[in-house]
Chains A and B, each alone.
Chain A
């Protein structure tokens, strides 16, 4: 088995601030994902990466940057935090992009 670790669990920042979420996986999976979860809206894909140094935009990539410098880690940066972006951000990984996703417990973004 493996685990997905997201840090921090809670990220508090000010409006306009650049904020970064980190994700580590020890499954040795090739593909990693960042989803945003808003109440009543389900999960929306922000960025995904099918291998180290690869980045693919999802449906909600505007206002975000991502980085996959190592196979085991995938970070997401909110380039200028806004109050309407307060949500839970979920990281996931899979062996390949058609396969089962394994999720972390999520990071909650709070903008003050």
Chain B
């Protein structure tokens, strides 16, 4: 079984500040990990994904995430947020394979104050 925990339901930061959104996963095998973003009244869009290799992965719009096997974490970071980053961010995990399901966390709502 696999699961994802996003411990912060809401995060508020000031424009220009740095950001970290936390994600902890549980998986019986080496996971594939994803961060998706959902802007108001839209579907989800992929920010970045980790399959293997370098534990720090770069995504769109200056986002990056770091995979830690020892901590079972995949935290999302951005050095300087913009008001347009306000959205809901979802972490997701799958075991891969031909019939694997993607399990999502409950999401973290990010509000950026200008």
Contacts and interface: CB of A to CB of B under 8 A. Distances in A.
Interface in A60-112: 90, 92, 96-98, 100-106
B99 A106 contact: no
Interface in B40-54: 41-46, 49
A43 interface: yes
Contact of B9 (A40, A96, A97, A106): A40
B101 A41 contact: no
Classify chain B's interface size: 20 to 34
Interface in A1-50: 4, 33, 35, 40-45, 48, 50
B94 to A, nearest CB: 6
Contacts of B7: none
A102 B49 CA distance: 13
B101 A97 contact: yes
B97 A97 contact: yes
Contacts, number: 61
A98 B44 contact: no
A43 B104 contact: yes
B28 to A, nearest CB: 15
Interface string B46-88: 1001000000000000000000000000000000000000000
Interface residues of A, number: 25
B43 A42 contact: no
B43 A105 contact: yes
Nearest to A101: B102
Contacts of B96: 98
B9 A90 contact: no
A100 B46 contact: yes
Nearest to B49: A100
B80 to A, nearest CB: 26
Interface of B: 9, 32, 34, 36, 41-46, 49, 90, 94-107
